[in-house]
């Protein structure tokens, strides 16, 4: 069986979001809501994806999604049927296509596959429906006395009797391309909105004797469409809860789920513990047996096995196994930390490589530096990396060096292997291996013998 295509309707202006950003690009647990829809249709086994965009938001959507999908522009916006009609010329050699809305991030691959099965070999269209308590905003499913599908009536156009129907259109379809193309040609904008409804095309299929099938939606969240920021927050809460449940089923301890936030893009290993007020975002990967939080904010970072992070902010960095961070440390992009490193309170690092077993316990700024293994960085140490030439310069500290408290390392400078700087030193020149340097500016006083 040939792969179906998918048409995603994403041309809506999202007026009620009151935003300069296209509605479908608003983030939902770390991904644009449209990306969640794309992931679902890909899991359903589509061959091609056509995204219908508006004139105003189309460029931003293209920039976000890239070249993995095709785009068509709907202008002017004249309804969902008109939007689908803009995409059909791209699908001339496609037999079936899914049609879904870009603002429905909970659409599932399972429901889409069920629609395709229900369509069978002879059906013209299959659509998802659900019986609900609150029917506001949904089109009603009208059936004949024996339960066969007759048509869909939009809420704005429903009679009082039709408005009382509790079975509603969920907004997910699979259609035979040739059939829906012919049906759309017969649709007229004879409604209060003056628009070409996709639902009217489905109704044309039913009226002309084509087989239209319905599939019940099991999960009510699949019908959530996002039109306001309040609805966006509600959807975020639903998805966040699902992410946390999945993690807990996978062996992660989450001490207080209501105060824990994890993006859909994050991976967390088994037997890791997430404490309250932990926020994990971006492409963060946390290995097994870590302990994160309370009060940890981690973005685009990788934590090795057994890492401990408390009350600290990490972004764009990598930590080796057994390393501890915090409280109140800030590790910035480009920082790579080795194994069993100790990074304490009020330490900031940027573009730093730190060797195994090094200790940076207190109140230090280390930027644009390479620090070897087994180094001790005293409290108040600063790498002065920004020169009078307005360029960043690097500091290198060799294996086993001991940097005294309040040392200023004026880059570019190199501290040799097992060298020592005295407290309060301002180091402007290289310090040879196994030497002691003190003073302002620092001078080498002596070489260390093998007993130190």
Residue 47 has pLDDT above 90, yes or no: no
Both 195 and 256 in one domain: the answer is no
Angle of helix 198-207 versus helix 80-87 axis, rounded to 10: 80
Q: Domain of 41: which CATH number?
A: 3.90.550.10
Both 193 and 339 in one domain: the answer is no
pLDDT tens for 343-397 read 999 999 999 999 999 999 999 999 999 999 999 999 999 999 987 788 899 999 9
- Domain-located, residue 146: yes
Both 249 and 398 in one domain: the answer is yes
Residue 314 has pLDDT above 80, yes or no: yes
Q: Which strand (E) or helix (H) includes residue 152?
A: strand 149-153
312 falls in which pLDDT band (50, 70, 90)? very high
82 catalytic residue (yes or no): no
Residue 136 has pLDDT above 80, yes or no: no
Residue 84 has pLDDT above 50, yes or no: yes
Q: Which residue has the higher pLDDT, 403 or 135?
A: 403
Both 431 and 326 in one domain: the answer is yes
Max avg pLDDT among 90-94, 130-134, 329-333: 329-333
- Domain-located, residue 235: yes
**Which of 223, 256, 276 is where one domain is finished?**
223
Q: Domain of 403: which CATH number?
A: 2.160.10.10
- Domain-located, residue 398: yes
What is the number of helices (H) and of strands (E) in the chain? 8, 38
Range of the domain at 270: 229-447
452 falls in which pLDDT band (50, 70, 90)? very low
| b/e code 202-238 from CB counts within 10 Å (16+ = b) | bbbbbeeebbbbbbebeeebbbbbbeeeeebeebbeb
The mean per-residue pLDDT over the stretch 275-299 comes to: 98
Query: Distance between CA atoms of 436 and 444, rounded to whole angstroms?
Result: 6
Both 172 and 268 in one domain: the answer is no
Both 318 and 376 in one domain: the answer is yes
The mean per-residue pLDDT over the stretch 161-165 comes to: 92
pLDDT at res. 57: 84
Residues 6+ apart with CB under 8 A from 286: 266, 267, 268, 269, 272, 280, 292, 298, 302, 303, 307
Residue 202 has pLDDT above 80, yes or no: yes
Please pick, among 26, 75, 275, 362, the residue that the annotation labels catalytic.
362
- Domain-located, residue 60: yes
- Domain-located, residue 137: yes
Q: How many domains does the chain have?
A: 2
Both 304 and 176 in one domain: the answer is no
- Domain-located, residue 452: no
Both 119 and 187 in one domain: the answer is yes
Q: What percentage of the chain reaches a pLDDT higher than 90?
A: 87
pTM recorded for the entire structure? 0.91
Please state, rounded to an integer, the average pLDDT across all residues of the chain: 94
The 3-state DSSP class for residue 367 equals: strand
**Which of 164, 198, 223 is where one domain is finished?**
223
Both 234 and 215 in one domain: the answer is no
**Which of 179, 199, 223 is where one domain is finished?**
223
Residues 6+ apart with CB under 8 A from 214: 118, 126, 127, 128, 129, 141, 149
E-strand spans in 264-394?
267-268, 273-274, 279-281, 285-286, 291-292, 297-299, 302-303, 308-309, 313-315, 318-319, 324-325, 330-331, 336-337, 342-354, 359-371, 376-377, 382-384
Both 216 and 312 in one domain: the answer is no
Both 124 and 234 in one domain: the answer is no
- Domain-located, residue 409: yes
Both 281 and 207 in one domain: the answer is no
- Domain-located, residue 209: yes
The mean per-residue pLDDT over the stretch 56-83 comes to: 92
């Amino acid at each position: 069986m040939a792969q179906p295509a998918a048409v995603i309707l994403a041309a809506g202006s999202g007026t009620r979001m009151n935003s300069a950003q296209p509605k479908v690009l608003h983030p939902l647990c770390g991904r644009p809501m449209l990306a969640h829809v794309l992931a679902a249709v890909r899991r359903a086994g589509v061959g091609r994806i056509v995204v219908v965009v508006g004139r105003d938001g189309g460029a931003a959507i293209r920039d976000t999604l890239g070249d993995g999908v095709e785009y068509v522009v709907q202008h002017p916006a004249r309804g969902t049927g008109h939007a689908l009609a803009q995409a059909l010329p791209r699908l001339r050699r496609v037999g079936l296509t899914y049609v879904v809305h870009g603002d429905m991030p909970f659409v599932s691959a399972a429901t889409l596959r069920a629609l395709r099965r229900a369509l069978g070999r002879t059906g013209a269209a299959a659509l998802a429906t659900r019986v609900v308590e609150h029917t506001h905003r949904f089109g009603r499913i009208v059936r004949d006395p024996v339960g066969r599908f007759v048509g869909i009536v939009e809420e704005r156009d429903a009679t009082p009797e039709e408005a009382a129907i509790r079975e509603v259109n969920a907004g997910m379809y699979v259609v035979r391309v040739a059939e829906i193309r012919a049906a759309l040609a017969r649709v007229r904008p004879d409604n209060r909105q003056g628009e070409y409804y996709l639902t009217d095309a489905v109704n044309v299929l039913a009226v002309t004797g084509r087989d239209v099938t319905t599939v019940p939606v099991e999960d009510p969240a699949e019908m959530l469409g996002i039109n306001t920021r309040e609805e966006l927050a509600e959807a975020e809460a639903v998805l966040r809860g699902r992410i946390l449940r999945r993690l807990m089923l996978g062996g992660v301890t989450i001490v207080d789920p209501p105060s824990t936030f994890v993006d859909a893009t994050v991976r967390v290993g088994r037997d890791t513990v997430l404490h309250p007020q932990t926020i994990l975002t971006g492409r963060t990967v946390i290995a097994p047996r870590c302990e994160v939080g309370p009060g940890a904010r981690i973005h685009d970072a990788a934590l090795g096995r057994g890492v401990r992070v408390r009350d600290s902010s990490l972004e764009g960095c990598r930590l080796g196994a057994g390393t501890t961070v915090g409280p109140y440390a800030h590790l910035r992009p480009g920082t790579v930390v080795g194994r069993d490193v100790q990074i304490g309170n009020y330490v900031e690092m940027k573009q730093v490589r730190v060797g195994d077993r090094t200790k940076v316990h207190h109140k230090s700024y280390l930027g644009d530096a390479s620090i070897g293994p087994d180094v001790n960085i005293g409290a108040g140490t600063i790498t002065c990396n920004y020169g009078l030439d307005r360029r960043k310069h690097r500091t290198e500290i060799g294996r086993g060096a001991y940097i005294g408290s309040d040392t200023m390392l004026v880059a570019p400078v190199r501290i040799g292997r097992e060298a020592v700087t005295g407290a309060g030193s301002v180091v402007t020149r290289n310090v040879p291996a196994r030497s002691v340097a003190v003073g302002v500016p620092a001078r080498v006083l002596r070489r260390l013998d093998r007993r130190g």
